[in-house]
Amino acid sequence: MPDSAALDHTASLVVDLGDRSYPIYIGTDLLKNTELLARHVPGDTAVIVSNTTVAPLYAEALRVGLSAFKNVKLVVLPDGEQYKSLDTLSHIFDALVDAHCDRQTTLIALGGGVIGDITGFAAACYQRGVPFIQIPTTLLSQVDSSVGGKTGVNHPQAKNMIGAFYQPRCVIADIRTLYTLPDRELSAGLAEVIKYGLLWDVDFLDWIETNMAKLRARDEQALRHAITRSCAIKADIVNQDEREGGLRALLNLGHTFGHAIESGMGYGNWLHGEAVGAGMCMAADLSHRLEWISAADLARVNRIVTAAGLPTQSPADLAIETLRDLMDNDKKVQGGRLRLVLLHGLGSALVTDKAPEELLLDTLRATHAQPSPL
């Protein structure tokens, strides 16, 4: 029977992709919700993929939620962005083959964006595709990576270079899992929340600015609103452009700068959200040089990112030339031309390959001062 207490507190959205549509559940006490899980796990075998940090915290509760299933297995991976690799992926395949998992096996990602991305890619590839569920446990994964079907692993020189679009059967975001998240990781998630306000919804940006202290204090209602509005914006964009033919590229605001910082510093040294925080300020700086946003808007972007506890500048010990070279590894590069997501006013973004190289270098020089390590 449905756990009505849990369902009553669950705000649901739908990613609308025809016969691949799926719900997003946002609420509390969802991991143990047997009815909810049974609704979305076909077959009788489920494999939970988690890591050494998250499994001890939440795998048992999820096992309780999966008590209706005959076979429940747990694969525990090492924790860290540096393990989002082809090597780690093959450990998942080894575990699935060793356990004779068939095509009816559902893979359940229990963790942050690293676990979600790698498990989703494993699900896309194993026996050419098995069912997959996202149970994101970081703010970043609840507002962004669990929604929209981007899965994959890193190449040593280029973030997320190997992967597939593969949609989950559902996303289950339990807000209370965020209570065990380190502060630094919460801030990293706020980067993606700010991103939605900057690129799509200036009213939401106002709300984020006003409620930043509550968000950082993990006020449940504030988190619920931030997650719900973020997922709604992401779903709206993915519904229109699932495979990033155009519009979806806007979701990469700050990411061309950020991915270069992440790979340049060595995966895991700067968190993805930290690199995106600095990257958004760098994108805002360049947008201001192009006279697309005012000096006051640029200052406001820096203020909001700072208030979230995030860096606003690239690391001083990553050479500007290296940073610039790494930006050319971005997936948005087309025909050798760098394409950047920039702001055109707050709440509005565009993709352009027209930013003059000299202005880009001015931005890289002007935003190159963040002491490291963070």
Options 40, 84, 91, 150; binder of ligand GLY; rule CB under 6 A:
150
Known active-site residue 192: yes
**Is 364 in contact with 323 (CB distance < 8 Å)?**
yes
Residue closer to ligand GLY, measured from CB, 258 or 315: 258
Using the structure block, give the residue that is written with the tokens 């939401």: 204
**Is 280 in contact with 346 (CB distance < 8 Å)?**
no
Q: Which of 9, 248, 331, 344 is catalytic?
A: 248
CB of 144 to ligand GLY, least distance (A): 5
Any contact of residue 138 with ligand NAD (CB under 6 A)? yes
Known active-site residue 234: yes
Q: How far apart are CA 287 and CA 70, in angstroms?
A: 55
Binding-residue pattern over the window 250 to 269 for ligand GLY, x denoting contact by CB under 6 A: -xx-----------------
Q: How far apart are CA 93 and CA 84, in angstroms?
A: 14
Residue closer to ligand NAD, measured from CB, 196 or 207: 196
Task: Report H helices in the chain.
Answer: 4-8, 34-40, 54, 60-65, 86-98, 113-125, 139-140, 183-200, 202-216, 220-240, 255-265, 272-289, 295-307, 320-327, 357-366
Options 33, 45, 53, 105; binder of ligand NAD; rule CB under 6 A:
53
**Is 100 in contact with 73 (CB distance < 8 Å)?**
no
Known active-site residue 262: no
- In this chain, which stretch among 34-42, 144-152, 215-223, 224-232 interacts with ligand NAD, using CB under 6 A? 144-152
Coil vs helix vs strand at 270? coil
CA 161 to chain centre: 15
Q: Which of 33, 51, 154, 192 is catalytic?
A: 192
Non-local (6+) Cβ contacts of 124 within 8 A are 132, 151, 164, 166
Binding-residue pattern over the window 96 to 115 for ligand NAD, x denoting contact by CB under 6 A: ---------------xxxxx
Options 111, 112, 131, 148; binder of ligand GLY; rule CB under 6 A:
148
Any contact of residue 51 with ligand NAD (CB under 6 A)? yes
Residues between 154 and 183 with contacts to ligand NAD, criterion CB under 6 A: 159-160, 177, 180-181
Any contact of residue 315 with ligand NAD (CB under 6 A)? no
Non-local (6+) Cβ contacts of 204 within 8 A are 196, 197, 229, 233
**Is 187 in contact with 216 (CB distance < 8 Å)?**
yes
Residue 84 interacts with which of ligand GLY, ligand NAD, none, CB < 5 to 8 Å by class: ligand NAD
Positive or negative, the Cα torsion across 301, 304, 310, 316? positive
Catalytic residue IDs: 128, 150, 192, 234, 244, 248, 252, 255, 259, 272
The footprint of ligand GLY (CB under 6 A) covers: 144, 148, 150, 248, 251-252
The footprint of ligand NAD (CB under 6 A) covers: 51, 53-54, 57, 79, 81, 84, 111-115, 117, 137-138, 140-141, 144-145, 148, 150, 159-160, 177, 180-181, 185, 188, 272-273
